[in-house]
């Protein structure tokens, strides 16, 4: 949604995600009764943020609309953000699929387990290779460590276990580079959790076409992010 300015008769609000993030108060001028002075101290801290705005829309006329609400507090952090939880694993396993015998994917890369390739590290995949169900599980958890670390490094706001796990699943599918440059992450780091949740469902195309499997995966990840019933999308 971006960042913009909203003016009321009593204050000017720096808005983001439907809520104000800074409030600039106005008071009568001592030298001119027809003017008001704006306390701009909040602007300095706003533009000192790492994600400071590049542009904004300015309202030129004050309105009598009700004062906007401040940004709600972020959900408190909870345990379980070191590793993906069982729900996140269930989503990944369902949509990645499991193969216990090495096969060549659509571009000829040898793959095994839950989409594991040699590029992800050990074990190196070769023709004729087979693994057990437990080995497939262990390899997946090892492969996910990169994405768990990547999510922790990129997210600057508190996450609960479901939010963290949904983001790990999302990043595992689209890549950490895409996640790091996404509007989803930008909204999340701005404290707009609801806006970030709605961004999941935009990532449903491959080769310019909307894929039903990606639609269901994004719906499942969004539901988990919101601690809702994700299982309806994987059964």
For 66, phi then psi, to 5°, come to -60, 150
How far, in Å, CA of 99 to CA of 130, rounded?
A: 9
The tokens for 160 are: 């609960």
Q: What positions carry a catalytic annotation? A: 96
Kind and range of the H or E run holding 25? strand 19-28
**Eight-class DSSP state of 232:** G
DSSP secondary structure string, 53-85?
-S------S-B-PPPPPBPPPPPPP-S--SS--
Kind and range of the H or E run holding 222? helix 212-225
């Amino acid at each position: 949604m971006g960042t913009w300015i909203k003016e009321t008769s009593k204050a000017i609000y720096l808005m983001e995600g439907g809520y104000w993030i800074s409030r600039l108060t106005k008071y009568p001028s001592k030298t001119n009764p027809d003017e008001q002075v704006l306390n701009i101290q909040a602007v300095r801290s706003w533009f000192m943020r790492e994600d400071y705005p590049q542009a904004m829309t300015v309202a030129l006329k004050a309105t009598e609309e009700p004062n906007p609400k401040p940004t709600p507090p972020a959900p408190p952090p909870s345990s379980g953000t070191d590793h993906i939880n069982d729900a996140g694993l269930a989503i990944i396993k369902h949509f990645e699929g499991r193969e216990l015998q090495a096969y060549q994917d659509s571009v000829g890369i040898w793959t095994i387990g839950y989409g594991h390739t040699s590029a992800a590290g050990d074990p190196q995949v070769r023709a004729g290779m087979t693994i057990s169900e437990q080995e497939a599980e262990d390899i997946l958890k090892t492969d996910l460590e990169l994405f768990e670390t990547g999510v922790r490094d990129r997210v600057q706001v508190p996450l609960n276990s479901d939010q963290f796990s949904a983001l790990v699943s999302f990043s595992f599918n689209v890549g950490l580079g895409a996640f790091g440059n996404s509007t989803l992450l930008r909204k999340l780091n701005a404290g707009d959790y609801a806006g970030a949740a709605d961004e999941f469902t935009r990532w449903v195309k491959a080769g310019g076409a909307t894929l039903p499997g990606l639609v269901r995966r994004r719906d499942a990840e969004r539901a988990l992010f919101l601690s809702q019933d994700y299982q309806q999308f994987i059964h």
